[in-house]
Every structure is written in C-alpha cells, then in structure tokens.
Chain A
Amino acid sequence: MPISDQEVRSVAALARLAIEEHAISHYAAELSAILDFVGQMNATDTSNVAPLAHPLELDARLRADCVTEGDQRERLLGLAPATANGLFLVPKVIE
C-alpha cells in the first residue's frame, strides 16, 4: 500500500520527528516499499492464531513495592542539556 507524502508528515508528527520537507517524498517511497514487503504476511491466514508477544510466554515478574534506588538526583540532572534549581529546563510551555 503506497504511503502518501501527507501520511509521512502525520506519522512524523506522531513520532515527534522533524523531517525536512525535501526528504518527505523520499521517505514516502521507502516506507511504501517496506510496507509492501511486510504485506507478504497477508497471504497467510492467521484468523485462529493467538498473537505472540513474548517468545517464552512468561508473565512479567513483579517485585515488592519498595524503594530500591538511592538518591541519584544530582547525577541524573548532570546528564541533562539544561537544568535550573534542580529541575529540567525546557522552553516556556504556557504563554
């Protein structure tokens, strides 16, 4: 199924991914080729097959609800591009 330029723009917006305008049609062609390729799956009837999400079909293991991490606040903030007063800094959200 071919993907239109407009679909690339809307998927890129969903993915929060800036794509340069001149590259849109290029991505549209590549994504169309990939979707066409994966579409081979449709030739196989899977109407009675349960989806498999985990190869060993194990349930997620839960741990006790207790604190396991020490305070790493300063270390983790140190990785951020911009911080102030112990907080992550982003452009103003509310005008």
Chain B
Amino acid sequence: MADYPLTVAELASGLARGDYSSVELTRHYLARIERFDPDLNSFITVCADQALAEAAAADQRRAAGHAGPVTGVPYANKDLFCTEGVRTSCGSRMLDNFIAPYDATVVARLRAAGMVMLGKTNLDEFAMGSTNEHSYYGAVRNPWDASRVPGGSSGGSAAAVAAALAPIATGTDTGGSIRQPAAFCGVSGLKPTYGRVSRWGMVAYASSLDQGGPIGRSARDLALMLNAIAGFDPLDSTSVEREVEDYTRCLEQSIAGLRIGRPREYFDARLDSRMASAIDAALDRLRELGAEISDVSLPHAALAIPAYYVIAPAECSSNLSRYDGVRYGYRCANPRNLLDLYCRSRGEGFGAEVKRRILIGTYALSSGYYDAYYRKAQQVRRLVRDDFVNAFTTVDVIAGPTTPSVAYSSGAHAGDPVAMYLGDVYTTSANLAGLPSCSIPAGTLDDMPLGLQLTANYFQEARLLGLAHAYQQATDWHQRLPAAYA
C-alpha cells in the first residue's frame, strides 16, 4: 500500500496534482481485489473492464478541465443498488440472473461525479442480517480476524474499505446495516436523514426505514461521497425536497460548546463494562476538544428492537411479494401450476433469514394480529422518535456505542435469530426516527475495532461529520489497516 494514500480526499488531491492517473489507481485497486478478495469474499462481481473504461473517461475529463472533487476516484458499490448492464444480485439466488435495465439514482450520481465503480459488494441477502453470513454468495470475512464476521448487511462494503480494496463504498442502512459493519471492520459509515439520499433503484427491504449512505475511512470522505449522492429526486416519492448543503462545510469548525448527550439507557448494567469504558474514553477526548458532555434519557430505547423487528419484516413481506418467478428473477423448474410456480420459486429463491422475515411480517399483518403487532409497533415507533425529539431540545448530538460487542465469531448466532437481532440494540432507533447517524472507529477490544455512534437531529449531517472529523483529527483509529492487508 506504500504507493497510494488510503483516503478519497488524498487520492483526489493526488489525481488533481497528476501524481497518478485514474487508470493507474483503478489498476492498483483491481490488483488488490484479485490478490486479497478470494479469501475475504467482499465482492460478488468485479467490473475490471468497465472500471478501466470509466477511469480512462475520468482521466480525459480531467485533461479537458472538467474534473469534479472526486472524479477518477474508485469506489465499491453494494450489490443492492441497480446498475445498468451489471448484475444486481442483492446477495440472493432470487436475483442471481438479474441485470437491471437502469441505474439507481445513487449510481447515476456517482457516475456523473466521475467516480469509478470497481464492482458490486457482498451483503446479507436483500440486506437482511447483521453478519453477512446470509448471502447466496458465501460469507464475508472480517479483515481484522478471518474467523469473525464483518457485520452486516453492508459487510462486503465495510470489509472492502477496511482491507483497502476500495477507498470508499456505498452501503444501505435499514436497522444499522451501514453503522454496524463499519464498527466491526474499523471504518466510518453514515446513515443520512431519511429522504436525504434517493432510494430509487435501491432494492427495497423496508421502505420507511431504508436509507443509502457512504462507508469510508474518514469523516471527510463520507462528506465527499454524500456531496455526490444527496439531494432531491423526483423518482423517489419519499425523497425530501430540501436544498443540499456542502457536507464538508463543518469539517474545519471547532466543536467547542457542542452539546453531546450520553443516553443513560445505553450505559446500563447490560453493557459490557469494557465497551462502556472505551466509549467513555472517546467522550473524554471529545470533552478535551471542547464539547460539553451530559447525560440524557431515551426512556423507550429498549423498545426500538422489538418495534423494528415487527415493522421491518412487515414492510419486507410486502416489498418482497414482487418476486413471483414471472417477470424477472429466479423461477423453479417444472411448475405444476401457477400457485406452485409462485410458492416454489420463492421457497427456492429466498434463503432462510429472508423467509423468516417474510413469515413474521405476513403474520404481523394478517387478519386478527395487525393491531397487536403492526399498529402497536408503529405506536412504539412514535415513542422512540419522540424520545429523540425531546433529547435534542437540550443536546446537539447523542453519542454511545454503535454495537454492544466487537465482531463475534462466525456461526456464533446460528439457529438463534433473536440473539443476532439483539446486536442491533443501539442502531435501529435512528432508522425508526429517521435521524442521521454515523459510526466511527474509536478504539479496540480484544484487538478488534469498536465503533462510536453519533446521532444528530434531522438534516444535521454536516454538523455530525464535523464532530466525527474533529475526533479523527485527534485520534488515529480510522487510519489503521489490518496487518494482513498492509
């Protein structure tokens, strides 16, 4: 890795100075993918020829004087964003043969910015899972310890960035799927405010919760990619009609006087005392930088995961009804009749975790159970949201651990889905409330990285990234590279 810097910001400067071309840079990353990814399994599809063509076009654009801030910088794309002409599998047998006829808005905007797509990254099937073990294309390994999971569902994106197989990647976050793998792999990830980044062409899991965002090494890099992808999109009916800002605008601002809330409920007796100490050490560092830390209360915090695991499966069961074996995707062999075609195509095309969530969601929405589960969960959702609204009257940012533990061993939760769901205890509430939230590396436990989660009020991404950047100016956790990938 001695030849090239690790961050998008530095790579963009190098390209601007002419230290190297985008084609050279792209070749460098493709060579690393070829060397390291057979073990890591972070990519489902590598687009070598297309990437080199995009890189050559980026170099021409630069030569013509039309380069933007990230033109020519490679990225990896979670295989949940539709890409015209390149398979979009969603980690599922169901879409193993699916080549989208259009680009997702996020992909189109990155293309317009001149970024170069190296390939499509592995994920838990249809973004359902927290370990990346639920992919039709096999599990992704954690670059820091191959026996552990990288987190999920954007585990391929996080592992690829952590191992420097790509400087930055796209992810999606429905209940923590950007932040949790970022924490497990020692990189930075941002889930923007709901509606800030277009969901058009981002294959739907739970539409009132899904939001795309960047996974990168530094807060500055997250801001650079967010600048490229954020903004109103008429093609997404939930896209918010609000001007975007320059998300790098707060990076050089002091955080003196910024009020940070530490939720009492996150630091209760159930939290590993070593994790609590590590997060408190990170908060001490922010205090030294001028932030004011105070305790806040989110009384309904513990109800976020139960509500999430009703709402998300309910929306999933509705969204995934489109996979019928008729119009696109997998079809079973020799269907006896139309019903058999539907049932077996779906039964054979979906994996176990997706089936579990479809069944739970169908049950929760079915006659006689709707009020007890779905309506109840939506009422709890308001309580969870209102906790944040109240907390943000006294603090600017809420901080805590991203996850209750560092990355665990592969297979640790086999046969016990609820145990896996409990790992989402700190992340799902930002999705239920629609708030912007990021995870940044803030230490290690047992030689594995851990994440500090920072959540801000609606549309405060710039301020959030400014705080994350201030922490990263004072620490070097985000600069570390696993020894095996140095």
B348 and A11 within 8 A (CB): no
Chain A residue numbers with a CB within 8 Å of B427 are none
Chain A residue numbers with a CB within 8 Å of B378 are 51-53
Q: A17-B355, A51-B381 are in contact. Are A34 and B417 (CB under 8 A)?
A: yes
- B418 interface residue, CB < 8 Å from A? yes
A38, A51, A79, most chain B CB atoms within 10 A: A38
Chain B residue numbers with a CB within 8 Å of A14 are 362, 366
Chain A residue numbers with a CB within 8 Å of B338 are 90-91, 93
B346 and A16 within 8 A (CB): yes
- B350 interface residue, CB < 8 Å from A? yes
- A61 interface residue, CB < 8 Å from B? yes
Question: How distant is the Cα of A54 from the Cα of B348 in the complex, in angstroms?
Answer: 33
Provide the A54-84 mask, 1 if CB < 8 A to any CB of B, else 0. 1110101101000000001001100111100
Q: A41-B376, A49-B383, A56-B240 are in contact. Are A91 and B359 (CB under 8 A)?
A: no
B195 and A88 within 8 A (CB): no
A31 and B363 within 8 A (CB): yes
Question: How distant is the Cα of A50 from the Cα of B386 in the complex, in angstroms?
Answer: 12
Q: B104 to chain A: closest CB distance in Å?
A: 16
A50 and B344 within 8 A (CB): no
A31 and B359 within 8 A (CB): yes
- B327 interface residue, CB < 8 Å from A? yes
B359 and A27 within 8 A (CB): yes
Residue A55 contacts which of B194, B329, B373 (CB distance < 8 angstroms)? Answer: B194
A63 and B306 within 8 A (CB): no
B238 and A54 within 8 A (CB): yes
B366 and A11 within 8 A (CB): yes
Residue B379 contacts which of A18, A37, A51, A55 (CB distance < 8 angstroms)? Answer: A51
Residue B343 contacts which of A17, A42, A52 (CB distance < 8 angstroms)? Answer: A17
Chain B residue numbers with a CB within 8 Å of A61 are 237, 241
- A39 interface residue, CB < 8 Å from B? yes
Q: A66 to chain B: closest CB distance in Å?
A: 13
Question: How distant is the Cα of A79 from the Cα of B99 in the complex, in angstroms?
Answer: 8
Chain B residue numbers with a CB within 8 Å of A20 are 347
Q: A34 to chain B: closest CB distance in Å?
A: 6
Chain A residue numbers with a CB within 8 Å of B327 are 76, 79-80, 88
Question: How distant is the Cα of A42 from the Cα of B376 in the complex, in angstroms?
Answer: 8
- B303 interface residue, CB < 8 Å from A? yes
B363 and A11 within 8 A (CB): yes
Question: How distant is the Cα of A82 from the Cα of B101 in the complex, in angstroms?
Answer: 17
Q: A75 to chain B: closest CB distance in Å?
A: 5
13 CB contacts below 8 A, A to B, read A8-B359, A14-B366, A20-B347, A34-B356, A38-B309, A44-B300, A54-B208, A55-B385, A55-B434, A55-B435, A90-B338, A91-B337, A93-B337
Apart from A34-B356, A37-B309, A40-B306, list 16 A-B contacts with CB within 8 A: A11-B359, A15-B317, A27-B356, A27-B359, A33-B416, A33-B417, A37-B421, A40-B303, A41-B303, A41-B377, A41-B380, A49-B379, A56-B434, A58-B238, A58-B240, A93-B338
